[in-house]
Amino acid sequence: MKKNLCIGEAVLLAFGLATSASAEDFCSTATHSGTSKTETGSYAPGSIGQYDYQLWYDRATSASATFYSDGSMSCSFQNAGDYLCRSGLQFNSDKTYDQMGGDIIAEFKLVKQSISGVDYSYVGVYGWMENVSTAPNGLVEYYVVDNTLADYMPGDWVGDTKKGTYLIDGAEYTVYRNTRTGPAIGGNSDREFHQYFSIRKTPRDCGTINVSAHIKKWKELGMNDGKLYEAKVLGEAGSTRSGVSGTADFPHAKVYIGTGSEPEHLIERSPYGGSAAVIPGTIEAENFDAGNEGDSYSGARGASGTDGDHTYRGDDYALVDIVAAGTGRAIGYTAAGEWLEYTVNVSSDGDYEVAANVANGSGAGTLELSLDGNPLTTLSFTGTADDWNAYELAKDTVALTAGEHVLRITIVNANTNVDYVQFSPKDKTNLQKRIRLNVASGEFEVFDLQGKALGHVKVPAGSSLSESLASKFYGSGVYMVKQGNRFEKIRVTR
C-alpha cells in the first residue's frame, strides 16, 4: 500500500455549477490543452488554473508528471516503489458532500503505455474527509477505483471489512472499509484512520464518476461521511519487488460541481435472453449481455450513434450499431477499443477452436478475446478493401475450463464488423464418442457436426427424437443433440 501524503494546508477554490461534454465526446476527442507545469520532485503539490495537483513517489530511478490547466495530466515513472499523480479540487473541510451546491463529478480518460512491475494500482477518484464521527481521529481516506495500471482489479486485500455491493453509474461496485495507521492530512505524525474503497466490477478506461452518489451509498452501508478535504482524479501504482515503470496518460481529467451522471435508469447485468450462451456453440455478436454502458459493453464512441439498426436492442443500447450483414445481424460502425461482454457456460474442460466471422473494408486487423478479465487470444484477419460484406473467419485454438465465465470481445481496429464467435471442440471425434443419450421426452440442445449451436428441440411424450428434429429444423441431415452432459448423433431423413 502507498505512503499517504502529509499535507498541512487546504486551498479553497471558487467554483460554480458546471456541466460537462458527454462521455461520448471526451472519451473520443480528449487532448491536453492549456498551460502546463512539469514536476519531478518526490513530493510536489501545486496548482494550475482552477485545479490542484500532487506528485508523489519513492525509490524511483526517475519520475515526473506534467499537469495542465484543463485538469489533464501525464504521469511517467521508472522503477518506483510507489508512484501517484492526481489532479482535481481541493476544499477547506468545511462542507459535506450534500452542502456543495451540486454533485461532485469527476471525469477521466486513461491511456496506459508500457506498464510493468505493478503489484497494486488504483485509477479513479481519491480524497480525504475530516470530522467523520465513526472514524479514528475523524479521518477517512477514500478511493473510487474504476481501473488500474495492473492486469487485475483490487480484491479483498484492500480492506479488513467487506461492506457490500451497489449499483451506481450503471455498474456494480464492491465496497470495503479498512483501518490503517500512517501519514495523514493535518499533521506530520502517523495517525490511525479509516480507508473506504469502492471497486468497480468491470474496469473502464474512460467515464464519469459521481463522487457524491458514492458517498451517499457509503452512508447507506453504515460508513459515515464528513467534511470534504479534496476530490481528485488519481493514477497510482506500486510494487513490492523491483519497482513499477511506465506511463499513464490522462488526456482528460476533470473534477467539478455540477449535474449528476446517473443513467435514466439502471439495467441489472444479466445474460442476453436470460441464459448464458453455451460453449460449444455460436455466440451472436449482437446478443451481448444486458446492462448499462461501461458494465456489459462500451459504446462505439467513434461512430455517429445514428448508423445501423437500433431497434433490435432498443434505445438503452443506442451507442452500439447493429447492421444487417453476415449470417443475419452483425455489430458494425465500430470504434477502436469498443468491447462487448457475454456470459457463457462452458460444458467441459478442453481445447476449443474459436472462429470469429468478421469483415473490415479498411484492411487487416485483430480482435482481442478475454475470459473473466484474463487474455484468451488475439484473432487476426486480412480484411478486404472497401468491402464490408466480405466476411472471413479469424481462427485460433484456446483452452477453456468448464463452468460459467464472462467473455469479452474487444475490437482493436475501427470499422470492424463482427457477426459471431463460434467455439467448437478441437477433437470432434471425442465429442461424438461421449456417453449416449437415454432418449426420452424432454428438451434437448441441438448442434451441427462442427459444434455450432442450432437451438433447442422439445420431444413430447410418445414422439421420437428424430421426428422432433425433422419437425423443428425442416431438413434431412445429421445432428448432435445434448441433454446434460450426454450426447447423441441423430440422422434425420425426410
> Pairing state of beta strands 51-58 and 277-279?
unpaired
Q: How far apart are CA 146 and CA 233, in angstroms?
A: 11
Q: How far apart are CA 430 and CA 450, in angstroms?
A: 12
Residue 142, amino acid: Y
The secondary element (H helix, E strand) that includes residue 381 is strand 374-381
Q: How far apart are CA 444 and CA 343, in angstroms?
A: 20
Which residues, 6 or more positions from 277, have their beta carbon under 8 angstroms from its beta carbon? 271, 283, 287, 342, 343, 344, 345
What ranges make up the beta strands (E) of 189-276? 191-200, 206-210, 227-228, 230-238, 244-258
Percentages (nearest 5) of helix, strand, coil residues in the chain: 10, 50, 40
Give, in order, the Cα–Cα distances in Å from 124 to each of 56, 147, 325: 16, 7, 39
**DSSP notation for 70-119:** TS-EEEEEEEESEEEEEEEEE--S---GGGSSSEEEEEEEEEEEEEES-S
> Pairing state of beta strands 103-116 and 206-210?
antiparallel
Residue 488 annotated to the active site: no
Q: How far apart are CA 118 and CA 116, in angstroms?
A: 6
Q: Which residue in 488, 486, 447, 432 sits closest to 464, CA to CA?
A: 488
**DSSP notation for 420-472:** EEEEEES-HHHHHTSPBP---SEEEEEE-TT--EEEEEEE-TT--HHHHHHHH
Q: Tell me how far apart the 2 most distant CA atoms of the chain are, in Å.
A: 86
Catalytic hit among 141, 230, 284, 488:
141
Query: SS3 for 28?
Result: helix
CB 374 within 8 Å of CB 353 = no
Give, in order, the Cα–Cα distances in Å from 441 to each of 29, 239, 463, 468, 487: 58, 59, 7, 10, 15
**CA geometry: angle 291, 297, 300, nearest 5 deg:** 130
Question: Any idea how long the chain is?
Answer: 494
Catalytic hit among 236, 284, 286, 353:
236
Residue 262 annotated to the active site: no
Q: Which residue in 225, 236, 226, 130 sits closest to 184, CA to CA?
A: 130
Omega within 30 of 0 (cis) for the link into 280? yes
- Which residues are catalytic, by number? 141, 236
